[in-house]
Structure 1
Amino acid sequence: MIGTEIELPVSDGVVSGVDFGGRGEGVLLVHGSGHNAAAWADVAAHLVRDCRPVAVDLRGHGQNRLVSTGPEQYWRDIGSIVTALSWNHPVLVGHSTGGYAVTAAAAAGVVEPAALCIVDGVVLDDRNTSLAGHAVLRTAETADRLRAMFRYGWNATEEQMRTHVEQCVQEAGGDWLNAGARPALVEEVTRRSFLRRGHGWTRQPTVEEIVAVSAVEPGTAVFPSIDVYDRITCPMTIVLADQGFYASRCDEARAVVDAAPGRRLVGISSHHNVPMTRPAELAAVIADLVRNRSENIGQER
């Protein structure tokens, strides 16, 4: 599905995004690390009959020229984005790192969502374990691995960029993250990850972006650890992929869900990249949240 390119003001500039159209309640779609707004195109195609889905590029991703200089800007931007869209109590949907982004935005009160949908992006560690994990992301070894695996920060010529995009599409069927995704969608997401700089292209995000957002402070109130869910009061759905990053931690996710009313856990047969590989199933979960929101508003009136 092709949407309309938009720019949304935040504290120090604008972030890019895609408005997929539709009418009704607002649904903000937030991608994970290394992805961009295009990853939501097939999910949005199923949602436009029920709501108005908008996807954004996080700082340092997609077509954004804004980058992170600290660990919280990318999720604090969500408050400014919702304000710019003139939405009241939207449904927030986040995949992977985007799952924490929407959770943190709600926990900090920068936005008051009607509901959260967290897609294979839960935070289940305590603070000390989380700090250690984030420290690993700032090592030279991790930087080298990200460059080798995903080409983060790669400066390419036009020809190199086009060749890389074609290669990603050709190899998608055997790629454990993209297997099952529509080839044209893989092409669009990969293409959008390159930002024009002068006569060349830079693969976003850069390693520097990953380092910036992983420099979390141990004493902050809103922290990427399991206690963040104590601050969530709105309905919350966690979608776990049975072959995703958290497949072995289903019981821990279940405990988060059981800790408060209005929460549910939904399993889905997929690898981690759920929005691209299982868009119809994920859209059905999101549409259910939208319908529940509309019904609750109707009852209040």
Structure 2
Amino acid sequence: MTETRHPLPSERDRVIDSAGVPIAIRDFGGEGPPVLLLHGLGGTLEDWAPVAPLLTPHRRAVAVDLRNSGHSGDGPWEWDAVLGDIEAVAAAIGEPEPAVVGASIGGMIAVLWGERHPRCPGAVNLDGHPVLGVAQRHPGLDPDRAAEQREGLAAAFSAMEAQRADPLGPDAAEALAEAARAAARRIGASEASFAASVYRNLTAADGAGHRFQRPLPEPLARIRRAMEELDIFAAYERTRARTLAVLATEDTPGQGPFADLMAAHRRGVDEALAAIARESPHVRAAHLAGGHALLAERPADVARLALDFLAGHDG
């Protein structure tokens, strides 16, 4: 399966070269210092459409399609390579060490960015803490129940990877978009931005009219392994950049089968970050009522938290 380039949809969109990997960005404009906006796994820069206009009165908001997603090119998912993409974007906008705000896996990248660039104005991680892998913390959950739910969640991720090997005809692509609209309605989010992100993550149609959903299966498997191998809490302990961890407090629809695991995960993240914040002057945590899809569920609150945090650096 080969990803095919899409035309740029607007004059706000650009493509930056990062060591041979094209990285698509959208410059929403705005007043003040720039902030780079990084989406979560399975998303695109369209996910920032509800939030970016709320940032632009105070910040120049620039959203990024991560490699293997949206209109960016394919490349190996290694944390150093991804940070290189962000450095390429930063250089292109004329600010080598901008603030970075990321959601989910984008939030993990934001923490790593701050660790690498301690003089950046701030790094904000919106609920980016792996549920599975070396950094997992599931206190208060029966070990057998924890193992059962971890196994089930891993199987769900594997099924998602396998499903993406199947080509999508026009009807299937529209069904995906409609499912995204329905998900948006359930949480009171923007149907348009959900559908736009789905379409942006589809490869261009081949000769038979088939498309594939990005990230494609192999990159998705690599991203999953990278997340499971990342010790995000060790990164918090090492960082010398001002870092804000924003923790969602509720399940997202669809997480019901793993509700016990997710509740224990939130407790574990909360406890770990509280301990780190007691020892580190660089890291603090905040809670935001809502599920993992904070950009869609709580765009005004996300913007407020990010702006208030970054304003602390300005002052």
> 5 Å matches for 1:186-265?
186-199=194-207, 200-216=210-226, 223-244=230-251, 246-249=265-268, 250-265=270-285
The answer as to 2:289 corresponding to 1:281 is no
> 5 Å matches for 1:133-148?
141=155, 144-147=158-161
The answer to whether the 8 Å contact 1:23/1:51 transfers is yes
Structure-1-length-normalised TM-score: 0.81
Q: How many residues of Structure 1 are paired with residues of Structure 2 in the alignment? A: 279
Partner of 1:186, secondary structure, is: helix
Identity %, equivalent residues:
21
Deviation at 1:160, TM superposition (A): 2.6
| Structure 1 runs of 4+ with >6 Å offset | none
1:29-83, Cα deviation, whole Å (9 max, x unpaired): 1111111111111110111101111111111111222232545422332122211
Whole-Å Cα distance in 2 between the matches of residues 284 and 217 of structure 1?
Answer: 28
1:12 aligned partner, one-letter code: G
Larger proportion of strand: 1
1:105-143, Cα deviation, whole Å (9 max, x unpaired): 33244x84211111001369995869xx9xx99x99455
Question: Which shows bigger deviation, 267-276 or 100-109?
Answer: 100-109
1:294 aligned partner, one-letter code: D
The answer to whether the 8 Å contact 1:31/1:57 transfers is yes
Aligned to 1:74: 82
Structure 1 unaligned blocks of 5 or more: 296-301
Whole-Å Cα distance in 2 between the matches of residues 146 and 124 of structure 1?
Answer: 16
Whole-Å Cα distance in 2 between the matches of residues 216 and 34 of structure 1?
Answer: 15
Structure 2 CA distance for partners of 1:154 and 1:85, relative to 1, 3 Å: farther
Aligned to 1:87: 95
User: Superposition RMSD on alpha carbons, in Å?
Assistant: 3.1
> 5 Å matches for 1:15-26?
15-26=23-34
Structure 2 CA distance for partners of 1:282 and 1:217, relative to 1, 3 Å: closer
The answer to whether the 8 Å contact 2:114/2:242 transfers is no
The answer to whether the 8 Å contact 2:29/2:60 transfers is yes
Structure-2-length-normalised TM-score: 0.78
The answer to whether the 8 Å contact 1:157/1:201 transfers is yes
